[in-house]
Amino acid sequence: MKVIHVLFRSSIGKKFTMAVSGFILFGFVIGHLSGNLQIFAHPDKINAYAHFIESLGPALWGIRLFLLTTLVVHVWVAAQLTIENKRARQKNYDKQVTLRATLASRYMRVSGVIVLAFIIYHLLHFTVRVTHGTEAYPTTILADGTKVRDVHSMIVLGFKSPYIAIFYLLSVGLLSWHLAHGLVSMFQSVGLRTRAWSHVLERITVVLSVSYFLGNALIVVAAMSGKVRIQNPSVVGFTCRDTCEICGLRNAEAIVENADAVEDNQS
Amino acid sequence: MNVKLRVWRQKNSETEGSFENYEARDLNPNMSFLEMLDVVNEDLTNDGSEPIAFAHDCREGICGTCSCMIDGKPHGPETGVATCQTYMRSFKDGDTITVEPFKANAFPIVKDLVTDRKAFDKIQRSGGFVSVRTGAAPDANAIPIGKDIADLAMDAAACIGCGACVAACKNSSAMLFVSAKAGQLNLLPQGQPEKDTRVLNMVATMDEAGFGNCTNQYECSAACPKLISEEFISKLNRDYMSASVKKLFKAKAL
């Protein structure tokens, strides 16, 4: 119980909890982005990757539970800290100037809440798969013949609507902004931000948050501009030639098979 | 020079306060802000009205008694000085200056611009003592301390406990004060025996007093008349977590 008291009751402990949960979530979003960047490779690559993750079964649920708990803790403690902070000064100044607080640090709550709304939508969109009709969640066949979820097409289809694409762009933008304060702040909260490297840490933070945004934006822009195209013939909006060099011979056959299967289904 | 003042007037902690407008005329630009208030009070007293209550003592920037939120910044527009060493030359002729007390729930308003900062004394007291031997004066430099450590401890010890850090923080957090008071001793060999208990007790007292939490924006450090670095907060965080872990695993006395 003493551990709970330190981590969830004391002011410094709560900040420590924010830092550690934030660090875990940061690690997750970097891993998530690395996985997503496979969209620029052959569709089989990202589809096989998604299939592998889905086939983890109980382990996947363990990971999901862990990440969800981390997120809940991060949001819960943030809410608790916010309430305490508001309570610490009930009557505010008539006039107060900002001396050196960064803009990102002053809008952590705003960026955090919008990102939370985005996470909920994003999970409903791609994990629970209920925001769109069934045609938005196609399947495909890998080189070894396994039938898998066509994540590649799901992403491209997802960004077809400019509203959704802009919402995604805005959300990852806000998340990057959140990280611009969060990354440097987590080191301060656990006491690892020292004079020796605080300037380096600030620079690393800027580089990481900007690259995180650019990496995500690249996927959205590539999907919207048609740079990354749907390569599954059973999906509406299929624009590939069946002699495409990227997909090669294997896919040309698969495409025909797949097209036959679709026809069978329809008849 | 002449300035207009918008001053927070509040009879006591029970009553509601409000702004009153005053005019300060024929000021010498080299007057301190407090001397300007003295002039205004002189006029108020002559008129038979209640003078503005403000806290002051040494008027040379070392006691930490003067406070005041001047134009939205604790201790006024200059950097690294207390209100007593803010001079009227920092303002322009004809300026309207807003003067408010430090506001935080842990610092209740006593009257006008005077706040009760005894929460700081409670924190300081809970930090306890340092084990030094009394008796005959020890040899100078009997305990070797590196110059860099001595300087850093001195930086922390420069804290005058004025409360500008709490006043500037949007969360009314006292972390800069606590980190300076704990840090000055935690850095030195003389402060080691009680280091963990000191940190744990001071943070516990700070939490009880109703100060907010640190959001790592470092407004405190920018507003501090002694410009104490936020790095001491980082050190306090580190010392607190290590003291907590040590406490969790410490063997109990038989």
pLDDT above 90: residue A251: no
Per-residue pLDDT at A52 exceeds 70: yes
Report the pLDDT value the prediction gives residue B134, as an integer from 0 to 100.
80
Cβ atoms A242, A232 nearer than 8 A: no
pLDDT at A253 over 60: no
Q: Does B116 touch chain A (CB under 8 A)?
A: no
pTM: 0.91
Confidence band, pLDDT 50/70/90 cuts, at residue B85:
very high
Is 90 exceeded by the pLDDT of residue A261? no
Q: Which of A130-144, A164-178, B6-20, B71-85 has the lowest mean pLDDT?
A: A130-144
List the domains of chain B with CATH numbers. 3-110 (3.10.20.30), 118-249 (1.10.1060.10)
For B155-208, the pLDDT digits (tens) are: 999 999 999 999 999 999 999 999 999 999 999 998 999 999 999 999 999 999
Per-residue model confidence as pLDDT tens digits over A158-190: 898 899 999 999 999 999 999 999 999 999 999
Exposed (0-12), middle (13-18) or buried (19+): which is B42, by Cβ within 10 Å? Answer: exposed
ipTM for the assembly = 0.93
Residue B224 has pLDDT above 60, yes or no: yes
Q: Is the pLDDT of residue B37 over 60?
A: yes
> Sign of dihedral through CA atoms B219, B109, A83, B237?
positive
- List the single best residue of B103, B213, B228 to mutate versus A (max A Cβ within 10 A): B213
Best of A80, A99, A193 to substitute, by most chain B Cβ atoms within 10 angstroms, is A99
Q: Is A131 on the interface with B (CB under 8 A)?
A: no
Q: Is the CB of A88 less than 8 angstroms away from the CB of B229?
A: no
- Looking at residue A244, its pLDDT comes to 57
Q: Provide the pLDDT for residue A140.
A: 86
Section B103-114 average pLDDT: 96
| Chain A residues 9-38 with a CB less than 8 Å from chain B | 10-16
Q: Does B207 touch chain A (CB under 8 A)?
A: yes
Residue recorded with tokens 């630009």: B29
Structure confidence at residue A68 as a pLDDT band (50, 70, 90): very high
Does pLDDT of A99 surpass 90? Answer: yes
**How many residue pairs bridge chain A and chain B with CB atoms within 8 Å of each other?**
140
Distance CA B75, CA B96 (A): 16
pLDDT for residue A267 is more than 70: no
Structural domain boundaries in chain A: 2-85+114-266
Say if CB B30 and CB B127 are below 8 A apart: no
Q: Which two tokens stand for residue A93?
A: 């100044």
Comparing A13 with B135, the larger pLDDT belongs to: A13
Closest-CA distance of chain A to residue B62, Å: 23
Residue with tokens 């100060």: B211
A-proximal residues of B, 135-194, CB under 8 Å:
168, 170-173, 175
Looking at residue B192, its pLDDT comes to 92
pLDDT tens digits, A203-245? 999 999 999 999 999 999 999 888 888 877 777 666 655 555 5
Top pLDDT among B252 and A216 is at A216
B216·A188 Cβ contact <8 A = yes
C-alpha to C-alpha distance for A9 and B105, rounded to whole angstroms: 19
A10 and B204 within 8 Å at the Cβ level: the answer is yes
Question: For A58-69, what is the mean pLDDT?
Answer: 97
More reliable by pLDDT, B59 or A139: B59
